[in-house]
Chains A and B, each alone.
Chain A
């Protein structure tokens, strides 16, 4: 059910918030500012009382599914439970009220959190240097590739023009390569859905700046040749960047540095449970080798004799954001890691167990294109004649948020299922039951789904053709 817009629920003159009165003389802006600078017509914003506003947004929230309300196995997004201790940590007035321009001696607690998280991420990746500044995974990617660009500029090597991405890469990878002024070129896959090492070897040359690899890849399969891949790149003087979107499969089981990764990003909002918020804020910290460390963005936190300090790395690419990154997410992730310590390995073990359990239960009915051990997510295809889109919409009627569909692009009718470690066997069994039932459901019935959601299927073409993006 669509709800009226908040503006339609108001009336001129209503107010939803009372401000303190004037305790100094009120100045007339018309005398303080040039007349033409002043607004001629007031903005048409809602004019509502607080109860109306609360009811409006509460009711809107009820038209929305989250992890709190439904199983949400969205592949590559790691929709794990968001512990509320993290929210309490972030709301602590001593952090929430801290201004980013306060001098370092006034922010030692915040800097210690950042310094410790830098250390945690270095230990988890095996890579010695960290920056917490990138605001989301895609910005972590861009930061990494800009660092690589700057490395080559600094070395006087101006021939590095290409970045290689596998066919299975997230769309952000090639988009990042372009944004950093590299040409993105694709490398194909072997029979396991992994990077074809022979093809890669033939492609890599003195124009290659880096390969962007996701491990486990977006088919949910571990890139078993990653060490060989890094050797191929390093022999050509190029770098291996790892997209850390799928780090939930690696904690304590595989360290990026051991595989020859030079730089990687983390998604703190995926692996370390900070809430996804409907599409952010995320946080895309990066970790890198000593060779790339001087190029990290400004600032990083260092511990000095007199306390923690914000420092600009020697050959920094510059700032990726106005301040120190999404500090609230940094604090949440730090709190999450503190509550787990070395038990982070159990997080990965349970995530991989859950994905393989779903694989085992769906196999036979659903096609599993790479039917071997998967990692934290499993890639399946509907039975012949069925569409991923229809199964997805059918799942909604069963009370399950659909998995990622039509990605990765290399597999037709792809359904990428990531259960995460925080789901019980009962939930997985119910989900599998629904999936199996949908596999048997008549196509006409599936095409009608969803029938029990807030809306039926939407006319997406109309939205684009008759663009209306505001009241």
Chain B
């Protein structure tokens, strides 16, 4: 009998009798073609044995070291309270709130998540999350096509995370490349037939871009401006909404979600109220019950696949509710001042590291561009530098493949770690 099934032999007998069949095999009389024989899987393990294997394999990962790689996922401090909340069975083991009367907790969380995203982005409405930052960017690209009634074609630069760009292309969106010079994008000339102009800020190289210039360029060709923003940066940077962006998207992983080798994270999407009907995914809205009490419910459901089928905005159904809850609790614990402090700590440490590296004769790729906590450093042999760092118990930056390393510094890095990084790198040259 399987591990988590309660039936005894007596149960089986009574239940088969009630159904009117003799054996379990009879329940599969209609199955054709049948699979005969046993599945060739390793023999079942007890929980204890299975977890021993987990621990054994975990040792083959270089985890728990100071991490200097970012590029879309960041090793940030995670308050302990978050795991306590997301571990609550009522949240963990529920599903899509189709029955709002018994899903008010989750629906209010979605409402709060949307509120946090709206506050950070300066845009009026947000959805309940999409799979990750890259999918938020791809969905935004499709959204610009629906809103402008143009073919999906977007203008991006090298400043957009290349992984995000790849996903946009997988989704069948044409991409045109804008000039990228000195670490920032040149928005002065945008093709007239694009549906969207994308600006990532801070961009892939950590540099703060001119979102307002992107908005003006987009609106100049009657396209939409989509800003791609790290939510932590929005505690200190002007909101994309205030700078004229029509849509803001990004990755909420920096808000209390562990790295876990790339997921689960949660993408966010926000837009102006006038565009809400083209937003994909779930939206929770406020309403009242029969007794006039305030309550929450999934709303504008006519956009979604289960109602609209082939004409839906997107096929998305399950999103990233639990990780979006993590981000919501993170925002509550940190608050505006705490998130701002995370940004300042990270930026201060990143600038300290950049200064010390430059003082050691190491060049930044874009020395004059304003960056927050990520920057590209030039090395002849990035692989060799990273090998030396790993030998000293440090995970180095992302090898950009063209003689540069993208280094990310979060509030989690200590001065001691930063100094060690400089020392190892200087000696490796």
Contact = CB atoms under 8 A, between A and B. Distances in A.
A369 interface: no
Nearest to B285: A463
A170 B317 CA distance: 10
B167 A253 contact: no
20 contacts: A7-B115, A19-B341, A42-B235, A45-B339, A80-B4, A94-B61, A98-B260, A98-B261, A109-B61, A113-B57, A137-B318, A170-B306, A254-B35, A321-B131, A341-B42, A342-B43, A372-B30, A402-B99, A459-B289, A469-B114
A365 interface: no
A66 interface: yes
Contact of B287 (A5, A36, A331, A463): A463
A48 B333 CA distance: 7
Contacts of A407: 306
B336 interface: yes
B30 A62 contact: no
Interface string B295-325: 1110111001111111110111111111101
Contacts of A462: 287-288
Interface stretch (B72-80, B219-227, B420-428): B72-80
A273 B93 CA distance: 10
B344 A26 contact: yes
A86 B403 CA distance: 41
Contacts of A3: 108
Given A6-B112, A89-B51, A340-B44, A138 B318 contact: yes
Which of B16, B129, B131, B210 lies at the interface centre, i.e. has the most chain A CB atoms within 10 A of its CB?
B131
B194 to A, nearest CB: 19
A278 B299 contact: no
Interface string B368-393: 00111000000000000010001000
A24 B164 contact: no
B258 A97 contact: yes
Contact of B43 (A180, A254, A341): A341
A228 B91 CA distance: 43
A342 B38 contact: yes
Interface size class of A (residues with CB under 8 A): 35 or more
A99 B348 contact: no
A335 interface: yes
A22 B119 contact: no
A401 interface: yes
B429 interface: no
A469 B91 contact: no
Contact of A99 (B135, B259, B293, B344): B259
A91 B83 contact: yes
A350 interface: yes
B34 to A, nearest CB: 6
Interface in B322-342: 322-323, 325, 329, 331-342
A37 B95 CA distance: 40
B347 A146 contact: no
Interface in A363-421: 372-373, 392-393, 396, 401-402, 404, 407, 421
A471 B331 CA distance: 14
B335 A48 contact: yes
B284 A469 contact: yes
A140 to B, nearest CB: 10
B109 A57 contact: yes
B208 A37 contact: yes
Contacts of A463: 285-287, 297, 299
Contacts of A298: 166
B13 to A, nearest CB: 11
Contact of A278 (B15, B43, B95, B242): B95
A380 B144 CA distance: 42
B166 A319 contact: yes
A17 B263 contact: no
A454 B329 CA distance: 22
B275 to A, nearest CB: 12
A101 interface: yes
Contacts of B97: 278-279
B147 interface: no
A136 B39 contact: no
B359 interface: no
Shortest beta-carbon contacts, A-B, top 8? A94-B58, A323-B262, A68-B89, A277-B322, A100-B262, A64-B105, A281-B264, A66-B93
Contacts of A82: 92-93
B37 to A, nearest CB: 9
Interface string B253-273: 000001111111010000001
Interface in B34-70: 34-35, 38-47, 50-51, 53-64, 67, 69-70
A29 B325 contact: no
Interface string A284-320: 0000000000000110000000000000000001111
Given A95-B58, A322-B132, A338-B42, 18 more contacts: A20-B411, A24-B348, A32-B370, A34-B370, A60-B104, A98-B259, A109-B57, A252-B38, A253-B28, A276-B93, A281-B323, A297-B170, A343-B1, A349-B27, A352-B28, A459-B287, A459-B289, A460-B287
B103 interface: yes
B78 to A, nearest CB: 9
A323 B264 CA distance: 10
Nearest to A89: B54
Contacts of A152: none
Residue in B164, B170, B307, B390 whose Cβ sees the most chain A Cβ within 10 Å? B170
